Amino acid sequence: MARQHQQQQQQQQQQQQHVHLFNAHRSNAGSIGEDGHLDASEQGALRNGRSALALVDDDGDEGNGTLRLGARTAAHSLGRIHFGAAQARGMRPYMEDRHCVVAAMQLLSSAQGGGAQAGAPLPSDGVPRSYAAIFDGHNGAGAADLAAARLHVLLAAHPALRMHTGELGPPAVARAEEVAIAGALRSAFGQVDEATLAVSRREGVRDGATALVVLRLGQVLYAAHAGDSRAVMCRDGAALRLTEDHKPHLPRERARIEDAGGRVDFQRCWRVVVEPRDGRPGSGLAVSRSLGDLDFKEPHKYVECEPDVLRVAMRPLQASGCGDAFIILGSDGLWDVLSDEDAVHCAKRAFQASRSGEGKVADGDAEAKAAADALLEESLRRGTADNVTVVVMLLAWA
C-alpha cells in the first residue's frame, strides 16, 4: 500500500508540475547580497515577519534598480531544488490560475531546438538553471495561459542566462549579473504583456494575470513579480517575504496611477478604476501591476507590467536550522487566509510528517509535493474563496 501511495503521489506531481512548451520593460530589482549573516536589526525584522524589501540596504549605486539582502558565500553548495505543486478552484466557478515548473532549463532549451523563438540552447556548463512561476488570471484565463506557455522560453533564450553563472563572487561581478538578469526578466515580462495585449486588441477579450517568477541560477535566486502572487522563503526557521503585493493603495503605486491620470477607489477592496467609455462599462482592478488588462493600459497606462526583481544569494542550511530551507510561491487565494508565518509552519509540519512514521516518503520531490498539498488543504479548510495555486521549492544542500 505504501509503494502504491508513493507511485500515486509521483504521478500527481508529474501531472501538476507541467511545463508548457511554447514561447513569451523595466523593473525595480533587488538583491540579498553576499556578506553572510543578517545583523541584529535584520534578525529582529525576520522574527517580526517583515519582508525582505524592508531589510534592503541601499549601497548608493544609482541606476541599477536592484535591492540587496545579506547572505554568506557558501562553504556548501546548493544542489538540486525539489519542486512540488498543488492547485484547486476553491469557491470560484472557473480555474484561472496557471503554473509552470522547469527543473532544468538547459534540457528545455535543447528540446526546443534552438529555433528563432527559443534561441540557442543554454550551455551544459554545470550551472543549474531552473524556474518556477504562478500566473493568477482574472476576467478569463487567456493571459495566464499565454504567460505559462511563453515566459520561461523567452528567459531561456536571453543571452544573460548563458553569460552568468550565479556563483557568489566579488560585488562588482554580482552587480553586473544583477543588471543583466533583471533585464532579462523585464524583457520577458514586457514581451508577454505585449503579446497578451495584442490578443486583446485582435479578439476583443479583456483578461489579465498577475505574474510571479522565481529563477534559480547557480547559487542565486531571482524573484520577479507583477501583482499580488507572493513568494516567501523559510530563512533561519522564520518566514521572509521576497515580494511586495502590488496593491493600488500603496503610496508609490497610487502616486504612479494618479500621475498617469488614473483613480484609486475603495470598492470592496482598493482598486484601480477606469470610467465607462466607448460603450464599455467602467471597471476596477485590485492589483496595480499585471500582464494584459488592456482597458487599464490603453489609451492611458494606469497599470504596469514592470516587475519588481529581488536577487537572493542563498545561505546554506545548517543542522541548527539557520540558513535557507525552502520557498513557497502562492497565488492570492493562499495568502488571503494564511499569513507568511502560517504558511511556513504548515510546510514545516508537512516536511516533518513526510520524513517520519508511516507517512515517510522516498525523495525530495515527494516531500515538496506533500508540503504543497498541505498548504492547499489548509487554505481550503480556512475557507478561501479564490482559486489557489501553491508551488514549493525545497532546497537540497550538498
Residue 11 covered by a domain: yes
Residues 6+ apart with CB under 8 A from 173: none
Q: With 90 as the cut, is the pLDDT of residue 161 above it?
A: no
What is the mean pLDDT of the segment spanning 139-143?
Answer: 96
Cβ neighbourhood burial of 345 (10 Å; 0-12, 13-18, 19+): middle
Q: With 50 as the cut, is the pLDDT of residue 39 above it?
A: no
Q: Domain range holding 11?
A: 2-245+307-397
Residue 283 covered by a domain: no
What is the mean pLDDT of the segment spanning 330-354?
Answer: 96
Is the model more confident about 357 or about 105?
A: 105
What is the mean pLDDT of the segment spanning 351-372?
Answer: 83
Instruction: Of 77-86, 232-241, 366-375, give the lowest mean pLDDT range.
Output: 77-86
Q: Are 119 and 157 in contact (CB under 8 A)?
A: yes
Q: With 90 as the cut, is the pLDDT of residue 43 above it?
A: no
Q: Cα dist. 235→53, 317, 372 in Å?
A: 14, 9, 18
Residue 149 DSSP SS3: helix
Q: With 70 as the cut, is the pLDDT of residue 23 above it?
A: no
Q: Are strands 208-209 and 129-138 parallel, antiparallel or unpaired?
A: antiparallel
Residue 268 covered by a domain: no
Residue 127 pLDDT level (bands cut at 50, 70, 90): confident
Residue 1 pLDDT level (bands cut at 50, 70, 90): very low
Residue 330 covered by a domain: yes
Residue 398 pLDDT level (bands cut at 50, 70, 90): confident
Q: With 80 as the cut, is the pLDDT of residue 209 above it?
A: yes
Give percent of the chain above pLDDT 70. Answer: 73
What is the mean pLDDT of the segment spanning 364-387?
Answer: 96
- Give dist(CA 7, CA 347) in Å, integer: 21
- Give dist(CA 45, CA 82) in Å, integer: 28
Mean pLDDT of the chain: 81
Q: What is the edge-to-edge ordering of all strands in the sheet holding 270-274?
A: 263-266, 270-274, 283-285
| Tally of domains in the chain | 1
Give percent of the chain above pLDDT 90. Answer: 61
pLDDT at 20: 28
Residue 278 covered by a domain: no
pLDDT at 111: 44
Residue 270 covered by a domain: no
What is the mean pLDDT of the segment spanning 182-198?
Answer: 98
Residue 33 pLDDT level (bands cut at 50, 70, 90): very low
- Residue 322 grid coordinates: 539557520
Is the model more confident about 21 or about 239?
A: 239
Q: What is the CATH number of the domain that holds 393?
A: 3.60.40.10
pLDDT digits (tens, 9 = 90+) for 51-71: 444 333 223 333 344 455 544
Angle between helices 364-381 and 2-16 in degrees, nearest 10: 80
> How many other CB atoms sit within 10 Å of the CB of residue 353?
17
For 48-66, letters b (16+ CB in 10 Å) and e give: ebbbbbebbeeeeeeebbb
Residue 369 covered by a domain: yes
Residue 297 covered by a domain: no
- Residue 356 grid coordinates: 517520519
